[in-house]
Structure 1
Amino acid sequence: MAGVGLSQRSQWRCGANRLAGDDTAAPGDNAGRRHPRSPRRGRGAAVSPAVNPLAELIEAELEPLVGHWMEQVQARLVPDARIGPELRDHIPEVLRDLSSCLRRGAVPETIPMAREHGRQRHRIGFSLKALVSEYNLLSDLILDRVEARGLAVTFSEMRIFSRFFSTAIAEGVAEHHARGEALVVKLAESEERLRLVVAGLDAGSFGLDLATGQGEADARFREVLGLPEGVAFSLEQTVRACHPEDRARLLLAIEEASLGRNQGFFRVEHRLLPSLTGAARWVESRGQVTFGPDGKPARLLGTVVDVSVRKRAASEREKLLDEVEAAHNRLLSLFENAPAFLALLQGPEHVYSVVNTPYQQHVGAGRRLVGLPVAQALPELVPQGFVELLDGVYRTGTPYIGREALVRFDRTGQGEMEEAYVDYVYQPLRNAQGQVEGIVVFGLENTEQVRARQRVEVLSQKVRASETQLLQVTDAIPVLVSLVTADERYGFANKAYEDWFGQSREQLLGRSLREVIGEAAYAVMGPYVRRGLAGESFSFEQHGVPYRFGGTRDVRVTYNPYRNADGKADGFVALLQDITAQRQMEDALKRQTEFEQHLIGIVSHDLRNPLGAILLGATAMARREDLDERSRKSVTRIQNAAERASRMVKDLLDFTQARLGGGIRIERRSADLHELARGVVDEVEAAWPTRELRVLRSGEGRGQWDPDRLSQVVQNLVTNALKYSPEDTPIQVETLGAEDAVTLSVHNHGTPISSERLDSLFQPLQRGTAEVDRAGRSVGLGLYIVRSIVEAHGGHIVVRSTAEEGTTFTVRLARLPAPDAGD
């Protein structure tokens, strides 16, 4: 079939209009023949679905066509129409249906996409005129592109094109109209329902012509505004009925609705002028401004409802809400600032919903809690059994109370567990139906109190142990121990006290001192008691204290003040020792010692003259030349025995003087200890020719001493060293002069003096060894006399004895006597 070239769009459109009602071929067909008819399918004739330039053009230019069409529709038809998907709607599908019809050569009886498009246009507010016009714009745009491309289009295609748009417009218009009629029906139904609703709401309705300012109002409206029947209704009357302070708001709301804001709707609550009773009423006015064809405000339709009761209720509600809010704020403040820790847990997983600051600090200031389950927020609580306790409270609804529970927290998140002790309550939180929906956690951390109590308990145990030990110790000693309080009552007494007074400790405690010891004893001890209560520390002996078994006793008493926490005297501790037997023994020993010492003195003094006569006679007989050898030996033995006896008598006299005469008397004069020692050693060497004696001296040796007594010291120490040392060992005598004193030391080797004997070495009748004196003339007074002579000079003597170093006696003498020393 030959194509037809159209140079003008008007020719095409006229042809298209004609063909819309004619199935014959166009007169300008190149073949000059009619097209063979195809079987009728729909309203178009079937053509070969071969290559169709017009269909190809539509398919190729679909998106540009749609875009250009949307611009034209928005610019020429509906300037305020929505853009985007709402404007585009089903047009691409309509063009695809057109292309399909061109290829098939037939137009169906109905085009679903066109009906859907008509439905959508009605929904978004397109008029029928706009609906038809947008299809005409679409066909014009297609024809523009056909003309621009110079496409050859057949009459058959012209017919299909025309019929498609005719059918599409008819379908869209029919759907739009059907929707409009349905809307009218619905509007009528809605108006009826609205009327019923208004009546049910006790609302008054009105309608007002904005051009004339006049309108109509129902009875309820007139009743609310106070308009009498028969009086014409106008906007001016409504404004006059409004409270002066609210008129501006009412007029502003109507003005904004008239300007099309909020789609012409308005709503405002305002007061009416006070009634005769003086009470202003509140009403709610609402309505909508409708617009005429010219777009100007035409009518004002609305309702008015008396809301005075609601406003009063709202006012009361606001007050109540304010009070609730204040109470809520107080509760929150209490919750936040409470010294206890608080938390709210929700659901079976115990999710934190609220925690206060003490709780946050309790578990760790930097840890996230709110919104997390306890097991996730504080995983260290799981193995400690606290989550299991929460599960039990949630499941049973029974509160749980924990006291001084030990809990460990990883407060820093570093795995370092910190211990805390808490008192806490898990209280179930129930909803309106009584079901458990959460748990309130309330508690106090009392770590310091618990640890303080634990320390107190430990201290109490120690105190009890100490008291037990004290009782055991004080009960074991044979001394009366008691504590007397400031009011002279017993606060403590030991076993010896019980035995002394014949009363148990329980009977003694709390009783007065005067009552226990009796008036006679208190008369003697009272002054001392008052001194003890005054805080004085002292000891005394009291003889002739009355005893409960009769007679009197001698006691030694020590008072030490007992002080309270402030350091003030609050009683005294008394130590009382029965020294009756001790004093008796001491007196007896003293009498015996004095007797022995007097006896020794008397005997020694009385033996001096006979021994002197014997020694003088033996000496005279030894000088005789006519004695035979046997007689001479006998005389020599008599002479030696007399000399030994004289020395023993001399020692006994010195001992007696030291013990009974107030010490050995000395006569100080200038002397040289170096020379004294040298002289004594020379004398001893003559008596001990087989022994080696070494003499060392250094420094100045002079001082104020009794030379005879010091010679006696040197001789005694050197003689002892010779007696108690091996024959083949030397004896060393050293004198050393220092700045203000001179030292004498005598050293020998041999068996050391035992530590037991060192303590009593300088006591009378004591010797440094258990061996028998080989010379047979020591009675154990030598070292006692040596120490007495040294102490009479104001000096002192010490001894050091070991197996490695030997034995050394050291005497230190001051060169001059002390200022207060007497000779």
Structure 2
Amino acid sequence: MSPRPPVAPLQEFIERLLLIDRALQVPVGDSNKHEFIERLLVTVDTAPVLLSYIDASERYRFCNQAYERWFGGSRERTLGRTMREVLGEAAYEQIRAEVHSALSGKHAQFERVVPYDSGGTRTVLADYLPHVLPDGRVAGFVAMVSDVSEQRRCEATARMAQALRESEERLRLALWASELGIWDYEPIKDNARWDERCRELLGVLPEEPLTRDTFLRYIHPEDQARVEAAMQAAFDPDQGGCLQLEYRVAPRHSKAERWLQVHGKMVFEARRPSRFTGTLRDITQSRLARVRVDRLYAVSSALSQALLPDEVARVVVSQGALALEAASASLVLVSEDGTAFELRAAHGFPTDSLESLQRFPIDTPVMYREAYRSARPVFYESLEHLLRDYPVLRDSPALVGRSFAALPLRVDERVIGAFGFTFAYERAFTPEDMQFMESLGQQCAMALERSRLYAAERKARAEAEQLRDRLAAERSLLTAVMDQLPVGVVIAEPGGRLLRGNAAMENVWGHAFRPSASIPQYSEYQGYHPDGRPYLPEEWPLSRSLLHGETVLREPVTAVHENGERRQIDLSSTLVRDAEGRPVAGVVVSTDVTQHQRMKEALQREAEVREKLLGIVSHDLRNPLQAIFASSQLLLRAEALTPSQQKKAERIQTSVRRMDRLIRDLLDFARARGEGSLPIQRRRASLEDACRPILEELQAAHPGRSLLLETRGDMEGEWDVERLAQLVGNLVTNALKHGAAEAPIQLRVDGEGPQVVLEVANQGRPIPTELLPRVFEPFTRASTGGDALKGVGLGLFIVHEIVAAHGGNISVNSTAEAGTVFRVVLPRRLAAA
């Protein structure tokens, strides 16, 4: 028997499956292609034939759910295995020639009895369509295999019935085996004969009489007019006497609708209907499969119009309830922190009945929790069964319906929420129902995930636009700031290309910013080192920052303007890095310091002249002072001086000593400024030798004051004793000037540590807080009161310089409670360089 061509819709499916890779490359806007693919995939699983894709190595890469019904076990066990392994050796040998033909690029069709390892044989009608790539290679083939065993048996039975018409009982048995009901009606007598299968399909009770009215009474009200019209046409001899249609029955003892397919033939005698015979067949499942495909397609179409998560959620519950004929539907998603369910949409519930379910803990005892935890559908066929597991829901206003289902919403291996349904009547959930619900749940989950990604992408795009606007504003601000800076600024890429420079560059360099593509082109900028050498491109501070990561601060450069004017410029540069430490830019700042340099040089010359003059004046003043001091000594030795004359001579000596100290301080100041530090002559000596004589001298000059010396520990060290005596004299003299007259002045020397600590303390009014930071600066007085002739404010400056020359440090602490304490820390010898 020659093989028959495949059914047209399946032939279209195979041809489209071979082109699916091109269909997936269609632009996003081509919604018809996507809708076809979604509907196609549903058709694959609901198709009653084996559909698979076998690659060039004869391994299964795709198969539909029919493989599970044929071979048992999940279809995942078939994927990746060879045809020989799946079908068995005997079955494979029966079809091996056609397999090789398909893999050579030829279309193979055949009908054959094939033995299978699982037991028994099947008469199969097979169609192998090769998958030829654009380059001519055969990647595999699509196999469509139908089990026509039953069809062939029915055909044989029909032939036997045709040949043996007298064996009506055997015909009825064959029709019963094929699940067909037989009926026979005599219009003249209104007498009907229905077999048990017909009664079962129609839902007619055994005791009910069999009449035409009985038949019409069990037809669904919406289909009665259509059925009556078809029967009326069958009774018309001019219409051929044939009856063929599909309709619904609604038995009174059952709540379930059933779809039947009726075929009948009227026999006419003298154009009068005499006998009407035919068959009934239950097509509920096949009809329901088609309806479900259409409903899934409708859901897919509606979801394709929704973009945002809330829109998708509303479409999901409304279209899902319609597809399942549910009384109500609801959708919850897991919160971002994973601790709660959030109600995103609901349909068919009383107003305000879901207020408490807008957000609730994820461990709340409801069906959603079990569907989420198990990642599997949860079904309750009656309200009683539901309340047995969830008694807390008994009085809930959201509890509507008589049977219930909850589906997990899965994306890959992740459960993102649950989908709940309630039905108006109690029902048993068949495997087909569960499969349809799972397909619906997967479709809705993918739509929700797609909408979430779309919302995230739209949010990211909005944030990117805001960032772009902010960057544009910041760039505009940066441009405005750079153009108004009084210094020249240049920004470069890490590779050396100069991106931009501000307006001040022209004032600094004498010409406008010159963009350069690389470091070698920096030769367009001319500058000179302090020694007169011209800068090479790689020597510029910006080049060193870009090449070596060096940070340059205020490097002096001489620039020559086009008019020949020489300008002094300080260059500072650095390499800018991002958060990961990658170089992103180089920046150099040019500051014109020509005027500053000229002013600095003028001030330096002025200081040098002033300090030289001060040194000369101080030195020349000592000669007449020495003459005055010598004359005063001669007067004091004369015996004829009256007390008044002697007092005046002593006052002359005191004034000479004071002026000598002032001149000496001025000379030390000039020497410290000119040479950078005071010269000292170190020798081994005791610090006590420097303290005690000067203290005795000052005590003699101030007999009314109390001067105390306290020493402990080792006083030995390598010091300039004369300078240290000057230090002690200045500190004690300062204490005498500013300390309280009735309080003693203490000189404490501690030599018990590795360094010697000297402290001079006095009581009295503290040094003002604002003067403490600069008390050791020249020409600064520790107090604003007193006699202006007592000093010019160089004593503490000289003390600081003496301490610094010895490598020590000095500090002061002055409060009303503790008094004023100058603390000097001196190392015993100069540290090695």
Q: TM-score w.r.t. structure 1 length?
A: 0.49
Q: TM-score w.r.t. structure 2 length?
A: 0.48
- Larger Rg belongs to: 1
